[in-house]
Structure 1
Amino acid sequence: MLEKFVHKLKEDRALGLQVTTHRYIPPEEPQYRDLELDERLRGLLLSRGISRFWSHQVEGIELVRRGENVVVMTPTASGKSLIYNIPVVETILGDPQARALYLFPLKGLEQDQVNNLNELLQPLGIGDRSGSKRPLAPAEVYDGDTTAYRRKKIRERLPNVIFTNPD
C-alpha cells in the first residue's frame, strides 16, 4: 500500500518532481525502561493505563529532573507530555507552593495539555484549597482569551501551573 502511494506521488505532475528520494524504514520493537516514581503518581498513571515507559520518556524525564534543557522530537501520541509533566507533578507533590509556567505555540495545544495535566494533579489532591465556591484548577490557562474576571481570580489564587501562549 505504501509503495503504491509513493509511486502515485512520484507520477503526479505537480508533486512528483519534488520527491527527490525516498526510503522505507522498517519499524523497530519499542524499548522500555524502568522509572522510579512516587507511589501516588505511579498508581494514578496505572489507573490511566500507563504501566511502563518508553526509553525516550525515561531519558527525557531523568534529564529534566537534573535541570537540563531538553528537546524531544517524536511522533504524535508518543508520550512527550509525560516527559515534562512528571517532573512538574513530582516537584509539586514535594512542595505544594511550587509553580511552573508552560508556554505553548498554539492555543489548541495548551487547551489539550491543561486538561491532561489537571487529570494528573487533581486526583493527587493538588489544587486550590481556598474554600471558594468556584475553586481554580491546579493548572489554568492565562492568555489573550482569558476574561478579565478570570485573570483577576488567577492572580489572586495563583495555581501551581500557568499555561499560556504568545498570542
Structure 2
Amino acid sequence: MEDAIEWLRNRPFYEGQIAEHRRLPAREPAFGDVDLSPRMADALSKQGIDRLYRHQTDAIEAVRDGDDVVLATETASGKSLAYTVPAFEAAMDHGGRTLYVGPQNALIADQEESLSDLAHGLGFGSGVSVASYTGRLSRSEKRDVRDREPTVLLSNPDMLHYALLPYAGRLWEWFFSSLEYVVIDEVHSYRGVFGSQVRASRRRVMATCEPNT
C-alpha cells in the first residue's frame, strides 16, 4: 500500500489530488457465539474458520428467527457466511432452497466458487448443491442446472425476470415451491430504473412463493 501511495505522489498528473493520508490502527476482532451442527463446524474449520465474528453470529441468529437482515460491513469481513450458514442448514435439514441474486456475473462466479468449496467440505450426503444460472450458459448447460435441482441457485436480476419467474409454475416449480431464503447482494447498487426493476422482481418472487396466490 505504501508503494502505491508513493507511486501516486510521484505522478505529475496526480499532484494536489491526494487530500489526506492517514493510517488507522487495527482493532481487536469482536467474536460471537452461535450453535452450529458438527458437519457445518467441521466444514468451516477446514477453511480455517474456527470462530465467527459478532456481526456474523448476530445475522445468522436473526435469519434463523425469520427476520429480514441487511448487513453492511467492510469488504472481506465475511458477510457471505451470514446467509450461507442458514441456507446450508435449511438444505441439509429438509431440502430448503436459497436464491442468490447478484448484479454482476463475475461476482456470481466468485460466490459460486466459494460456496461450492464449502459445500464440498460438508462431505458426502449433505444434500447441499450449488449452481449458477446466467446468460453465459448454453441452452444445454441451463437444462443441466434445472435437471440437477440445486439447493442454492445463483443468478442475476435479468435472468430472474426473464428466465426464472415466467416459468415458476413449470420449469422451476421444484425451486420456488421450496424456496426459503432470498439473498440480494450488493444491495446498495440497485438504484434508479435498475433498482425499481429489482424491487418489482422481488415482489414477484414473494407472490410466487405465497400460498393460494
TM-score range (shorter-chain normalised) is 0.7 to 0.9
CA distance in 2 between counterparts of 1:161 and 1:37 reads 19
Deviations 1:129-162 (A, max 9, x none): xxxxxxxx81111110111112223234421111
CA RMSD of aligned residues (A): 2.6
CA distance in 2 between counterparts of 1:99 and 1:140 reads 12
Q: SS of the residue aligned with 2:146? A: helix
Aligned to 1:126: 126
Which runs of 5 or more structure 1 residues have no equivalent in the other structure?
Answer: 128-136
**TM-score normalised by structure 1 residue count:** 0.76
Q: SS of the residue aligned with 2:69? A: coil
Cα deviation, residue 39, structure 1: 1.7
2:149 corresponds to which of 158, 161, 166: 158
Cα deviation, residue 47, structure 1: 2.5
Aligned to 1:110: 108
Deviations 1:69-113 (A, max 9, x none): 22333223x3222121111011112212x1111112222221222
CA distance in 2 between counterparts of 1:72 and 1:16 reads 34
Which runs of 5 or more structure 2 residues have no equivalent in the other structure?
Answer: 159-213
Corresponding residue pairs, total: 155
CA distance in 2 between counterparts of 1:83 and 1:160 reads 17
Aligned to 1:131: none
Q: Do structure 1's residue 101 and structure 2's residue 134 form an aligned pair?
A: no
Q: SS of the residue aligned with 2:70? A: coil
Cα distance change of structure 1 residues 64 and 22 upon mapping to structure 2, 3 Å threshold? farther
* Bigger shift: residues 138-147 or 67-76: 67-76
Aligned partners of 1:61 and 1:83 also within 8 Å: yes
CA distance in 1 between counterparts of 2:116 and 2:152 reads 9
Aligned to 2:187: none
Aligned partners of 1:64 and 1:70 also within 8 Å: no
Q: Which has the higher helix share?
A: 2
Cα distance change of structure 1 residues 126 and 39 upon mapping to structure 2, 3 Å threshold? closer
Aligned partners of 2:64 and 2:86 also within 8 Å: yes
Deviant stretches of 4+, over 4 Å: 4-13
Cα distance change of structure 1 residues 124 and 46 upon mapping to structure 2, 3 Å threshold? farther
Aligned partners of 1:100 and 1:160 also within 8 Å: yes
Cα distance change of structure 1 residues 120 and 12 upon mapping to structure 2, 3 Å threshold? closer
